[in-house]
Amino acid sequence: MAEESDTASSTVEVVYALPDAQHIVCVAARTGMTAAEAVARSGLADRFAEIAAAPLVLGLFGRRIDADHRVEPGDRIEICRPLQADPREMRKFLTATGRVIGQREGTRDND
């Protein structure tokens, strides 16, 4: 059991989530390693062309970070996908059509 803890504390997780799947790669943490280096070592950019095709946007446990952010063992680096639509514009559109975010088309609340 101590081995699992040691392994988790000496690695960095790099995560890329798609609508239907989440890809997690553990990378050996190295002193001074940046988030961009962790992503490169994960190989995810090689597997998913869309990562390399756009500017790299990264997060650390849901908080945006720069590519040159120094990672620590146990960190979870998230590769962010571009938004499909601006949330503010989507909210305006849904409000205008009598719906709310999260409501499926054709359904209504039974208030």
Torsion region of 9: left, alpha or beta (phi above 0 gives left; psi -120 to 50 gives alpha): alpha
pLDDT tens digits, residue range 64-86?
999 999 999 999 999 998 766 77
pLDDT of residue 90: 79
pLDDT of residue 14: 97
Q: Which amino acid is at 35?
A: A
Please tell me whether residue 109 adopts helix, strand or coil conformation: coil
pLDDT band, residue 102 (cuts 50/70/90): low
Give the residue extent of every domain in the chain.
2-79
pLDDT tens digits, residue range 4-59?
444 556 999 999 998 889 999 999 999 999 999 999 999 999 999 888 888 889 99
What's the fold here for domain 2-79? Ubiquitin-like (UB roll) (3.10.20)
Do residues 91 and 84 lie in contact, with contact meaning Cβ atoms separated by under 8 Å? no
Cα 32–Cα 34–Cα 36 angle in degrees, nearest 5: 155
